[in-house]
Amino acid sequence: MTTSIIGFPRIGEHRELKFATEHYWKKRATKEELLKTAQQLKAQRWDKQQKAGIDLIPVGDFSFFDTTLDAAYLFNVIPARYKQLGLSSLDEYFALARGYQSETESVKALPMKKWFNTNYHYIVPEFDDETDVKLTGSKLFDEINEAKKHGIQNPKAVIVGPYTLLKLSIFKGDKQPQDFASSLVNAYQDLLAKLNEQDVKWLQLDEPALSFDQSETDLALFTKIYESLLPAKKAVKVLLQTYFGDVRDSYQTLIKLPFDGIGLDLVATTENSKLIKENGFPTDKVLFAGVVNGKNIWRNHYVTTIETLKALNVKGEIVLSSSCSLQHVPYDASLETKLPKTVQQHLAFAYQKLDELVELDAIFQGHDQKVLAINNELFSTIKHPENSQVKSRIAQLTAADYTRLPERSKREQIQKQVFNLPELPTTTIGSFPQTKDVRQNRSKLRKGEITQAEYDAFNQAKIKRIIEFQEKIGVDVLVHGEYERNDMVEYFGEKLDGFVFTQNGWVQSYGTRGVKPPIIWGDVSRNEPITVDTTVFANKLTDRLVKGMLTGPVTIFNWSFPREDITPEQSVTQIALAIRDEVLDLEAHDIKIIQIDEPALRENLPLRKSDWYRAYLDWAVPAFRLVHSGVKPETQIHTHMCYSEFGDIIQAIDNLDADVISFEASRSDLSLIDQLVAANFQTEVGPGVYDIHSPRIPSVEELEEIINHIIAKLPAAKVWINPDCGLKTRSEKEAFDAVSNMVEATKKVRSSL
Ligand code: GLN
Ligand code: ZN
């Protein structure tokens, strides 16, 4: 046994699971039909792995929605309100994942959260004092049987480990995670007993929570759990699998506990290699070396990987594996036939990564030097399109390029005078509903059914209509509605040099939702205006202020597959310069307010706090400053973020040096307001006054109350009134009614000031 992977994509090469599941939800397919599709998909992924020559094939990594939810469900971590619905187990499972509504019942879904530092989202399991943790489900065991029947003789059972399950869950009652430790250990012991009966040789327990900073209490809990769990393993070997980061604080604990294997990510960081080299790796354990990157889409450079492996100096057994589950990359790079060969040959999606593991293994065993030569050749000829102009621009940057003048307080006075806006100015975040006709118009252009002129004319009519609407209800700062944008990153990527796009590079974002991230391939630059035409068109339709709308460099970078031959800092700086050109172009075209969205700024904070500034914020914040530092004092820069957890990085956000920031606040009881006051936050703020994620239309009275609550704490002169995010997912009626109520409530509050 020498090769394995941590997990495999499950949505289907052509997103078959998405369509089958959504059909089932809409009652257009039966349960049997859905199960059949699932069965075929499972069989297909097992076949692929087996044919590629992977020795130890994971089973249990398939899921109808999310594997963390699968684990919670298996162990009966199901709140009573879902059980009371009396649904079949499949429907109960979906109720947890996405809520349930019938004529008599209405239960919300469990919350969803970002999975570590990926763009995947997991369902947060909920424990309360009544939670009776025990092994009640059968998914894992059924899949083991299914795999064996399909000819997978030696499956590796895979499930989220007890420690990570506790760390990722929420606890609604008085009982705390440690209060569930012993019942959870019992449940996992029962699981081991069953796997023993099924004659399973390996169990992989995923414990990525070890990549976060660990306190003494954390480690004590971890140790307690595994000291009591591991004696129950009998013939089943237990692999403790980590990923996304390093185990600097738990390495000593891990090597002392009687695990049979330890899985470490050797790609995300060099820290794990260092730990092995400095402390040695026990000869009685198998090292599952995560050498093939599960988070990025580039080919593995074999020479470097083999060097890394050899330098570890591990005397015992090594199994080559992926750095994390391959679910974070698309299925098959060979389907991307529209990409130039010069690009395509450097891509490795999940299928290609299987082959890479097998080839690496052969080289590592000293068998196959031919593939090594081919791989070397590939890397020696790789040519990312370079742009010498961009390079020299970056080389010439000085501190002044990151500093906007005059200082913000002076700009604030100037802008108040120039704009002469009423107190509590109203605005929206940018997009208005992307109704069916808007999406159809775009798809017609893509299919060549209409001309560019026809396409533009349609969008212009939409812009005209939305400008009129905003004027009519009395919004102060208008937007053009973003009708031309499919996605806030793809839209910019398509217009910038340096990006390439896949046809089928879907990656699961959550449940049945996928994203198709752009790939950064060459040096990024802007060769022509991106948003100038549409913004200027909107601006000419009205005497009111129209705000330009851009996506910021950090978000564009975080939601793309990045290059690996240059640093993230270099890439982000290139994107920042391109967006800077657009900002200055908008300003030159008389656009006086420009919003630069950075919804992904916070979500990509490194897992460990000690890395936040050094490894991320120290270049992410300057990149944003570089985008806007060149504008005139009277040009107002806004930014937007889709969350309200500023807590630990509140100063970094203020340091972006924007003039105004809008953010999500309505769902967090506006608790952020107190933090802003405490931090003496200087940027003007637009705390979203209602939740756009819900179809509910807030009443005027309710909104008045929220606005009053905000200005009781913050000086009204620093407050803007807006929804908490873009309106593109709402129906027109919902958006129009809610925004009208928001403006009316603002007017009422204003008159009482
Ligand atoms: N301007 C974008 C919109 O309104 C912002 C989207 C976002 O924050 N994710 O849709
Ligand atoms: Zn948002």
- Is 429 annotated as ligand-binding? yes
Give 432 Cα–ligand 1 centroid separation in angstroms.
10
Residue 414 alpha carbon to ligand 1 centre in Å = 28
As a whole number of angstroms, the distance between CA 677 and CA 659 comes to: 17
Measured by CA distance, the residue closest to atom 4 of ligand 1 is: 726
95 alpha carbon – ligand 2 mean position (Å): 26
Burial class (CB in 10 A: 0-12, 13-18, 19+), 481: buried
Question: Is 42 near ligand 1, meaning CB less than 6 Å away?
Answer: no
Q: 726: CA distance to ligand 1 center in Å?
A: 4
Residue 647 pLDDT grade (very low, low, confident, very high; cuts 50, 70, 90): confident
| Predicted local confidence at residue 1, as pLDDT | 76
| 618-646: average pLDDT | 95
Nearest ligand to the C-alpha atom of residue 638: 1
Residue 431 is labelled as binding a ligand = yes
Tell the residue nearest (CA) to atom 1 of ligand 1.
Answer: 430
Instruction: Pick the residue whose CA is nearest to atom 10 on ligand 1.
Output: 726
Please, which pLDDT band fits residue 339 given cuts at 50, 70 and 90?
very high
Residue 733 CB contacts under 8 Å (≥ 6 apart), including other chains: none
Q: How far is the CA of 557 from the centre of ligand 1 (A)?
A: 16
CA distance 325 to 498: 28
Question: What pLDDT shows up at residue 526?
Answer: 97
Q: Is 583 in the pocket of ligand 1 (CB under 6 A)?
A: no
CA distances for 442 relative to 445, 448, 556, 735, angstroms: 5, 10, 21, 21
Q: Which ligand is nearest to the CA of 727?
A: 1
Instruction: Kindly identify the ligand whose nearest atom is closest to the C-alpha of 481.
Output: 1
Q: Is 95 in the pocket of ligand 1 (CB under 6 A)?
A: no
Q: What is the mean pLDDT of the chain?
A: 96
Counting ligands in written order, which one lies closest to the CA of residue 725? 2
The mean per-residue pLDDT over the stretch 157-174 comes to 98
Ligand 1, closest atom to CA 549? Answer: 1
* Cβ neighbours of residue 193 closer than 8 Å, sequence gap 6 or more: 232, 234
What are 393-433's pLDDT values in tens digits? 999 999 999 999 999 999 999 999 999 999 999 999 999 99
List the one residue out of 199, 209, 271, 261 whose CA is nearest residue 236: 199
User: For residue 726, which atom of ligand 1 is closest to its CA?
Assistant: 4
- Say how far apart CA 318 and CA 594 lie, in whole Å: 54
User: Which range is least confidently modeled, 154-168, 366-380, 559-573, 587-601?
Assistant: 366-380
640 C-alpha to ligand 2 centroid (Å): 6
Q: What is the pLDDT of residues 121-131, one digit of tens each?
A: 999 999 999 99
Distance (Å) from CA 204 to ligand 2 centroid: 37
Ligand 1 atom 3, closest CA: 726
pLDDT of residue 695: 83
Measured from the CB, is residue 726 less than 6 Å from ligand 1?
yes
Q: Do strands 202-206 and 237-241 pair parallel, antiparallel, or not at all (unpaired)?
A: parallel
Higher pLDDT, 229 or 669: 229
Q: How far apart are CA 573 and CA 552, in angstroms?
A: 11
Nearest-angstrom CA–CA distance, 569 and 551: 17
Query: Does the beta carbon of 725 lie inside 6 Å of ligand 1?
Result: yes
Query: Ligand 1: does its nearest atom lie under 6 Å from the Cβ of 730?
Result: no
Q: What is the mean pLDDT of residues 622-635?
A: 98
Closest ligand to Cα 485: 1
How far is residue 380's CA from residue 369's CA, in Å, rounded to a whole number?
Answer: 16
Starting from the CA of residue 594, give the closest ligand.
1
User: What pLDDT, on a 0 to 100 scale, did the predictor assign at position 696?
Assistant: 87
85 confidence band (pLDDT: 50, 70, 90): very high
Mutating to test ligand 1, I would choose from 725, 729, 739 the residue with most ligand atoms within 8 A of its C-beta, which is 725
Does the CB atom of residue 125 touch ligand 1 within 6 A?
no
Contact, 329 vs 26, CB < 8 A?
no
pLDDT of residue 648: 87
Ligand 1 within 6 A of CB of 430: yes
Q: Which of 485, 555, 640, 664 to mutate to test the pocket of ligand 1 (most atoms within 8 A of CB)?
A: 640
Sign of torsion, CA 271 274 279 281?
positive
pLDDT at 667: 64
Instruction: Give the integer Cα–Cα distance in Å for 704 and 713.
Output: 15
Q: How far apart (Å, rounded) are the C-alpha atoms in residues 466 and 261?
A: 60
Taking residues 188-192, report their average pLDDT. Answer: 98
Contact 505, 330 (CB under 8 A): yes
Q: Where are the alpha helices (DSSP H) in 592-715?
A: 618-628, 650-654, 672-678, 700-713
728 lines ligand 1 (CB under 6 A): yes
Nearest CA among 499, 495, 466, 500 for reference residue 483 = 466
- The minimum-distance atom of ligand 1 relative to the CA of 642 is 8
Which pLDDT band holds residue 669 (cuts at 50, 70, 90)?
Answer: low
Annotation-wise, does 416 bind a ligand? no
C-alpha 669 – ligand 2 centre gap (Å): 17
Determine the Cα–Cα distance for residues 642 and 599; give it in Å rounded to an integer.
Answer: 5
Given pLDDT bands bounded at 50, 70 and 90, which one contains residue 471? very high
Task: Report how far ligand 1's centroid is from the alpha carbon of 725 (Å).
Answer: 6
The DSSP symbol for 538 reads H
Residues 481, 432: contact at Cβ < 8 Å?
Answer: yes
Q: Which phi and psi (to 5°) does residue 174 adopt?
A: -80, -30
Decide: 597 in ligand 1 pocket, CB within 6 A.
yes
Burial class (CB in 10 A: 0-12, 13-18, 19+), 232: middle
Question: Between the CA of residue 650 and those of 426, 594, 681, what are the distances in Å?
Answer: 24, 22, 8
Scored b (16 or more CB within 10 A) or e, 60-73 reads bbbbbbbbbbbbbb
> Is the pLDDT reported for residue 666 higher than 80?
no
Residue nearest to atom 5 of ligand 1 (CA): 726
Report which of 572, 468, 483, 602 is spatially closest to residue 531, judged by C-alpha positions.
483
* Residues catalogued as catalytic: 693
| Nearest atom within ligand 1 for CA of residue 429 | 4
Name the residue of 429, 515, 595 whose CB sits within 8 Å of the most ligand 1 atoms, as the mutation to test its pocket: 429
Look up residue 352 and give its two tokens: 């290609």
Tens of pLDDT, residues 319-332 = 999 999 999 999 99
Give this prediction's pTM. Answer: 0.95
pLDDT for 376 beyond 70: yes
User: Does the pLDDT at position 658 exceed 70?
Assistant: yes
Residue type, 370: K
* CA proximity to 154, closest of 55, 61, 62: 55
More confident call, 339 vs 368? 339
Determine the atom of ligand 1 nearest the C-alpha atom of 430: 4
The reported pLDDT for the residue numbered 644 is 75
Long-range contacts of 183-188 (CB under 8 A, 24+ apart): 183/132, 183/133, 183/134, 184/75, 184/133, 184/225, 185/225, 185/228, 185/229, 186/133, 186/134, 187/75, 187/76, 187/133, 187/134, 187/135, 188/162, 188/229, 188/232
Residue-level pLDDT at 192? 98
DSSP letters of 199-255? T--EEEEE-GGGGS---HHHHHHHHHHHHHHGGGGTTSEEEEE--SS--TTTHHHHH
Q: How many residues does the chain have?
A: 753
Is the CB of residue 511 below 6 angstroms from any atom belonging to ligand 1? no
Q: Is 603 annotated as a binding residue?
A: yes
Which helix or strand (DSSP H or E) is residue 260 part of?
A: none
- pLDDT tens digit string along 495-525? 999 999 999 999 999 999 999 999 999 999 9
Closest atom of ligand 1 to 640 CA is 8
The 10s digit of each residue's pLDDT in 235-289 is 999 999 999 999 999 999 999 999 999 999 999 999 999 999 999 999 999 999 9
- Cα distances (Å, whole numbers) of residue 269 to 118, 298, 300, 379: 15, 17, 15, 22
DSSP annotation of 697: P
pLDDT of residue 645: 79
Assess whether the C-beta atom of 585 lies below 6 angstroms from ligand 1.
no
- pLDDT at residue 361 above 90? yes
CB 124 within 8 A of CB 170: yes
Give one DSSP letter per residue of 592-624, joined into a string.
Answer: -EEEEE-TTTTTT--SSGGGTIIIIIHHHHHHH
Q: Closest Cα to residue 418, out of 636, 630, 660, 588?
A: 636
404 CA distance to ligand 2 middle (Å): 25
pLDDT higher than 70, residue 357: yes
Cis before 425? omega within 30: no
Binding residue per annotation — 642?
Answer: yes
The pLDDT of residue 668 is 62
Q: CA 68 to CA 167: how far, in whole Å?
A: 11
Q: Which is it for strands 112-114 and 121-123: parallel, antiparallel or unpaired?
A: antiparallel
Confidence of residue 694 (pLDDT cuts 50, 70, 90): confident
ipTM over 0.90: yes
Q: What percent of the chain has pLDDT over 90?
A: 93
Q: Would you say the CB of residue 229 lies under 6 angstroms from ligand 1? A: no
Q: Residue 642: CB within 6 Å of ligand 1? A: yes
Alpha-carbon separation of residue 423 from 273, 343, 476, 748 (angstroms): 57, 53, 10, 12
By percentage, how much of the chain surpasses pLDDT 70?
Answer: 99
Q: Dump pLDDT digits (tens) for 681-693.
A: 999 999 999 989 8
**The pLDDT value given to residue 642:** 86
